[in-house]
Each structure stands twice: as structure tokens, then as C-alpha cells.
Structure 1
């Protein structure tokens, strides 16, 4: 369901793009309450022999680096390169993405929304944290945070500014609310100066945040290798 809201800024969504996933829990390391609870639960289940930490790490690694967001970046790059595929993606994103081999958990029903010169799309899940794992991997912490979920609808322009994306006043911001039945993929505008680039080179310009709508695709001049991973 799309929303078109622009109101006064509210509280800071508190998104932090740098997350330390180390497992050093000495006295000088302070975990947030949720992380501490998860790690305590993991320790208990491991001691009882109910889970294998190595298997758990393998599952997480699969979603972080193999399932996505590189998958989504390739979908976007192909849409930039092939007009027929872009049309298919608009009409039936689920089928188009499945044809590329990226069907799977939390991505059974997809819709692609395309940024244009006058419209920018932003995705949120206001009720929980519905997210297309098969194309974007695991959701970032800030995507699941209540402040982002509330303010993305009530003050999308303010939220984007806090991500460092200050759009022109004339740009319409359209907010899409993900649900358990339907998840969204933002197709950002293709950057200028990318003529002649192949699919993998273009995919390097497409970061996870650009496919949620909190960033733009990188330009070739400023891109850091692997940005789409």
C-alpha cells in the first residue's frame, strides 16, 4: 500500500549503518539488551545440544553474502540493460525475479517500484519487519526499528535527510508498506556515465539501501567496489 505523506520531523529514527558483529564480550564491551538476550539464548541452546553454532553461522552467512543483496542488485542491473525485462519486472516482479533464480523465503510475492525523475520510492513495514530476504538478504537493524517504521510514513523526507539523501522539493516521495503477502524492491534510476557497463559492473553500483529507497545508486566515479554486495 503506497503512502504520500510529508509532515514535520519527529524523533530521530536512530539508524546506525555500522554494526559490530564480533563475539568478544569482555567487561569493556557493552551489548544492547536485544543482542544480549539473543546471545544468551544461543548459548543456552548450544549447551543443551539443540543448535550447532557452525550451522547457524553458515545460515547467517548465506543470507548476508550469498542470498542478497547482490541478487537484488543483479535484478536492477538487468532492468537497466534490458527494456523487455524491465517491463516484465513492472508487470510481474515475482515471475521476473524467479526467472533469475532468486525465488525463496520471504520473497514469494514481489512488486518492483521504479524511481523516476520526479518520483522517489521508499519501502517500510509499519507493522513488523516484512522484507524480501531472497533479493536483499537479512534486513538491517534500522529497518526493524519502531522509529523508522513510524517516521518513514509520517515524515519520509526528514528520514531520507537523516540517511544523507536530500531530495529536491519538487520530487514526490511515495512510501510503500510491505506486508506478509507482498514485499517491494525499489529500482533506482540508472546513474549517468554508465553507458557500456555490463551487468556485473552495473550491479556494483546498486547498494542495499538504494533498493529500499534510503539511498541512490552510486555513480561510477564514486562507487566503492562491491557496493552492491
Structure 2
């Protein structure tokens, strides 16, 4: 799925640079304003905000209980509510249930929690097939879900957004919230991936050319 709907990073970077140059040249946007926007999404808005929520839920049972009961209220405790993330429901992955998030009508997405939505999330192919045949869609992301595990699909809308609380991977028992948050990816919080254990990441890193 991702390969069918994502442009190569180099191509995207060139397009962004061209648009940026044109906007500045036409006097529509000031370079300083662009730098501020980029800094905001890199350091204050984005998947790392969602990762903080997940890591705290993994290490604080009381917070996790509040998060699953009232996602909006619990997330507000961390000061992370914002644009397109005012009303949140958090659904938990377990050994028996795997959750997947989609927006079939358009591409409603919790920007303040997960940052900019990926291209594939907005594509018609994902929006239609995620509901009809979620297991096949997950397979295209490289995620095999056992037939014994229930797959639940949650459809976001203009009034309500969803966030997946992934399963905490093995081998992370002694890790801090900060260390755990580094492991959590945007895709895991949408449901198209699982969070790898530190051992899995290390093996992948060592195997890379």
C-alpha cells in the first residue's frame, strides 16, 4: 500500500522546495514565516506528540485508564490538544484485537497529535479498501494479522478523531517514557504497523547496508 501511494522522498523534497521558492518569490510568504511553520511541525506538532501519549500510557496505568475512558480529557492533561484533535477517542491494540484508523469521507486526521497526514492516508484506495478488506491492506503494509485476531476499523469524521494505542513491545520493561516514545511510529498509531522491540530495531540496523 505505501509503495503505491507515496512518492520517493527525493521527489517530494524537490516539489516542496519549488513551491517554497515560488511562494517567497511572489511575496506570498516570508522565509521567516516558513521557518516558523517548519519548526512547529518538526518540534511541537507531529508524531512525537502522539508518541508521548502512548509512552505515558505504557508506563502509567492510571493515565492509560483515563486515556481509554476519555481520550480528549487525558490528552489535554499533557497540553497536546489542538488543530483537528479537539475530540479524540483512543482504542487499544491487544493480543486479541487490532485496530485500524481510516476516514472514508475525506481524510480527517488528528494533526496536532500525529502531524501532517501521509499521502496514502488520503488516497481513495486506502479510504475504500481499509473498510472492505482491512487484512489485505495491512498485508500490503507488511503487517500480517492472525485470523484469530479481530480487526476493528474506526472511521474518523469532522467531529471525532481516533488514535491507536499500540501494544507495548517485549524487552522494554526497564525503559523510560522518553526512551519508549522513540520507538513509537505514526503508522503504529494509525494501526498500519506495530511497534518494534529495541532488539528488532537493532537487528534491522545492523543488517542494513
Q: TM-score, normalised by structure 1?
A: 0.80
- Report the CA distance between 1:18 and its aligned residue: 4.9
1:19 aligns with 2:9: yes
Q: Matched residue pairs, number? A: 201
- Report the CA distance between 1:218 and its aligned residue: 1.3
- Report the CA distance between 1:91 and its aligned residue: 1.1
Structure 1 unaligned regions, length at least 5: 1-10, 24-30, 225-229
Q: Are the counterparts in 2 of residues 13 and 151 from structure 1 also a CA contact under 8 Å? A: no
Query: For 2:76, what is the secondary structure of its paired residue?
Result: helix
Q: TM-score, normalised by structure 2?
A: 0.87
Q: Specify which structure has the higher proportion of helix.
A: 2
Equivalent in 36, 40, 46 of residue 62 of structure 1: 40
- Report the CA distance between 1:124 and its aligned residue: 0.5
**Change in CA separation of 1:203 and 1:160 when aligned onto 2, cut-off 3 Å:** same
Equivalent in 168, 175, 181 of residue 203 of structure 1: 181
Aligned equivalents of 1:61 and 1:145: distance in 2?
27
Equivalent in 116, 120, 142 of residue 164 of structure 1: 142
Alignment of 1:107-186 (within 5 A): 107-186=85-164
CA distances 1:114-161 after superposition (whole Å, capped 9, x unpaired): 011111000011111111111111111111111111111111100000
Aligned equivalents of 2:134 and 2:34: distance in 1?
35
CA distances 1:36-72 after superposition (whole Å, capped 9, x unpaired): xx956x6665444222244234313422443121111
Aligned equivalents of 1:56 and 1:211: distance in 2?
28
CA distances 1:82-108 after superposition (whole Å, capped 9, x unpaired): 111011001111111111111111111
Where relative contact order (Cα < 8 A, 6+ residues apart) is larger, the structure is 1
RMSD: 2.3
Query: For 1:67, what is the secondary structure of its paired residue?
Result: coil
Partner of 2:78: 100
Equivalent in 197, 200, 204 of residue 222 of structure 1: 200
